[in-house]
Structure 1
Amino acid sequence: MTTALLGLGTYRVRPLTLTETVTRAATDPATAWIDTAPNYLNGKAQPLLAPVLARHSIPVSTKVGFLTEQVVKDAMSDGALTIDDAEHGHCLSAPYVRWQCARNRTELGRDRLDLVFVHNPEHRASAPYEGLRDAFTALEAEAAAETLTAYGVATWDGFDTGTLSIPALNQLAVEAASTRRHHLRAVQLPVSLVTATAFAQALDEKGPIAQAAALGWQVYASAPLFGGELPHLATSELTTLLHPELTVPQACLLAAASCPGVTRILLSASTPAHWGQAQAALQQPAVPITTLRKVLDVLAAD
């Protein structure tokens, strides 16, 4: 077994430390990755990233879906957003998705986007697959125009609730691209010792993580420390079981990175020091599946 690679998530990174943390994340060009979104840091994440990204050739994943106040104003002015979608705060229409992709390129200072996630499609309470169909069609058009390398779906609870499934997403992408050689190549979902449904399923080669891995997709694990709360919930005994030489946060991070099928862990490290600690944790051997099962069983019993 091998552990997943580490990627920098920017949802919780402090603006004042963003440049320094990205620079630290870029120290290993072979594995570096940045995950962001146009609505992160109140819409400031991507413009703040642009100067440091200009100095470091790091792959970036961004998103489409959620609307900021400024995005609503600008997209409506450009005719890419309806009043109904603006009031809902979330949009996956083809015109808006293509507009947001262009804006993402501008804000990030990139001519081509590495990966664009459709952001929480379950936010659309009714018929999420209708929104996804529009989004996938637009993203396939972006790929055809060579302004996009790949796209994916980022969800919080879409797989747990049964709203989304890997086979259905794959079929939708086939239909959008009119070929099985589509550009849907990634999913992002929470994987931690707390958000453990998909985690536990993956240990038995089942569920969305195993299904995505079987298709050759990348699987990005978000919130591996459950928004920073997990280290306060885990016990020292649990840490000893996972890896006795690591701190509680490091052990919890290593556990998520050891989940079969997960290819990258997205961590919103608040400081370069935290990033260094995370790097050190993921250099350790993967936690055996038998140990992961034991840990999840203990947590489930609490």
Structure 2
Amino acid sequence: MTVRLGLGTYRCPDVAGAAQMAAARGADWVDTAPNYAGGRAEMSLAAALTAHPNLCVSTKVGFVPAGAGHIGLRAGALSPADVECGHCLAPDYIAWQLARTCLMLGREPDLVFVHNPEHACSEAEIIDRLFNAFLALEEACSRQIIGAYGVATWRGFGSGLFDVRTLIDLATKAGGPNHHLWAIQLPVSLVHLKPVAQALDGHGPLADALAAGLEVFASAPLHGGEIPAMVTPELSELIAPGKTPAEVALAVVASALGVKRVLLSTGKPEHWTRAVEAVGGPPLSPDVLRRVVDVLGT
């Protein structure tokens, strides 16, 4: 399976410049959210998306962008409690946010993730929250406002609040057998190795997504830039001799079973070029991945 590098825009200081840089170097995907870059990330991508019509874009619904709370409140899409919480997955808000997203991007998004559905949500509420969000997103797909949807979560899978099978069941209930649930996004890195370890044993979100035919987007592969400093010469020698710490870390993520796309936030051409090579190179063997898990734990 070919793994591709995608541009992530979380914590990206210059979203517009990074998108133009990545697209000029063959990137085919950029991932964003309305609340990134102080609420300006989607608008910052518009020029690159216009200049590179083959560049796909995924965004998210859930968190209320900075400065948009009072606008959503006046529009009737948000309640005062939603504004205070800063997160909402009510159908009216999803519809309002998708319309706003299309205006900001200058086009319809290819994929929309439900963003951290576990945020401020109890175990008793999560299934209804996801189902209602899926209903709204299936409606958006039927109206061709978006191409597909998914779930981007930081801790939903790891906490046991939901699993891939649950998501598939809810999507089927919301949209029938031809539902538009297409992808999941979760952190996979040398810090977040549990999904890798689970996949090696044939279970967990990565293995389940692969079995269900869902795309897997691996986020935070360098853990906000912290991981390269954590990679010792001994670990580099174990994983990929002769490679930089960042390349070593990216190789582990790209080699995890089921991962289809690795999202990296960078605006530096040299970093992008080396990351493309690291992600697209021959995958590490399961034996190497098991040794990494044994050394670092989960």
TM-score range, shorter chain: over 0.9
Deviation at 1:28, TM superposition (A): 5.6
Is 1:6 aligned with 2:2? no
Q: CA RMSD in A?
A: 1.4
Q: Is the 8 A contact 1:256 1:265 kept in 2?
A: yes
1:187-212 residue CA offsets vs partner (Å, 9 max, x unmatched): 00000111011111111221111111
Q: Distance in 2 between matches of 1:37 and 1:185?
A: 17
Query: Aligned residue for 2:117?
Result: 121
TM-score of the pair, normalised by structure 1 = 0.94
Query: Aligned residue for 1:157?
Result: 155
Query: Aligned residue for 1:222?
Result: 219
> Aligned ranges for residues 13-24 of structure 1 at < 5 Å?
13-15=12-14, 18-24=15-21
Query: Aligned residue for 2:65?
Result: 68
Query: Aligned residue for 1:51?
Result: 47
1:97 to 94, 98, 109: 94
1:206-241 residue CA offsets vs partner (Å, 9 max, x unmatched): 111111111111000001111111111121111111
What percent of counterpart residues are identical? Answer: 46
> Aligned ranges for residues 187-198 of structure 1 at < 5 Å?
187-198=184-195
Query: Aligned residue for 1:141?
Result: 139
Q: Distance in 2 between matches of 1:69 and 1:283?
A: 36
1:47-80 residue CA offsets vs partner (Å, 9 max, x unmatched): 1111122111210000000012422111111111
1:75-118 residue CA offsets vs partner (Å, 9 max, x unmatched): 111111111211111000000001111111110000x2200000
Q: Is the 8 A contact 2:4 2:276 kept in 1?
A: no
Q: Distance in 2 between matches of 1:92 and 1:19?
A: 27
Question: What amino acid is aligned across from residue 224 of structure 1 in structure 2?
Answer: P
Q: Is the 8 A contact 1:170 1:184 kept in 2?
A: yes
Query: Aligned residue for 2:38?
Result: 42
1:79 to 64, 76, 81: 76
Question: What amino acid is aligned across from residue 49 of structure 1 in structure 2?
Answer: L
Q: Distance in 2 between matches of 1:166 and 1:145?
A: 26
Q: Is the 8 A contact 1:3 1:282 kept in 2?
A: no
Per the alignment, in what secondary structure is the counterpart of residue 8 of structure 1?
strand
1:1-39 residue CA offsets vs partner (Å, 9 max, x unmatched): x45210000002112xx333222322465x610000000
Q: Distance in 1 between matches of 2:256 and 2:139?
A: 33
Q: Is the 8 A contact 2:150 2:182 kept in 1?
A: yes
1:138-171 residue CA offsets vs partner (Å, 9 max, x unmatched): 1000001011110000000111110121111111
Question: What amino acid is aligned across from residue 5 of structure 2 in structure 1?
Answer: L
After the TM superposition, list the runs of 4 or more consecutive aligned residues in structure 1 that deviate by more than 2 angstroms.
18-21
Distance 1:10 1:270, change over 3 A: same
Per the alignment, in what secondary structure is the counterpart of residue 148 of structure 1?
coil
Q: Distance in 2 between matches of 1:159 and 1:107?
A: 31
> Bigger shift: 78-87 or 136-145?
78-87
Question: What amino acid is aligned across from residue 219 of structure 2 in structure 1?
Answer: S
Q: Is the 8 A contact 1:93 1:134 kept in 2?
A: yes
Q: Distance in 2 between matches of 1:27 and 1:200?
A: 35
Q: How many residues are matched?
A: 295
Q: Distance in 2 between matches of 1:76 and 1:85?
A: 9
Query: Aligned residue for 1:242?
Result: 239
Q: Is the 8 A contact 2:6 2:31 kept in 1?
A: yes
Unaligned runs of 5+ in 1: none
Q: Is the 8 A contact 1:26 1:32 kept in 2?
A: yes
Query: Aligned residue for 1:257?
Result: 254
Q: Distance in 2 between matches of 1:221 and 1:149?
A: 20
Q: Distance in 1 between matches of 2:280 and 2:181?
A: 29
> Bigger shift: 112-121 or 72-81?
72-81
Per the alignment, in what secondary structure is the counterpart of residue 189 of structure 2?
coil
Question: What amino acid is aligned across from residue 235 of structure 2 in structure 1?
Answer: L
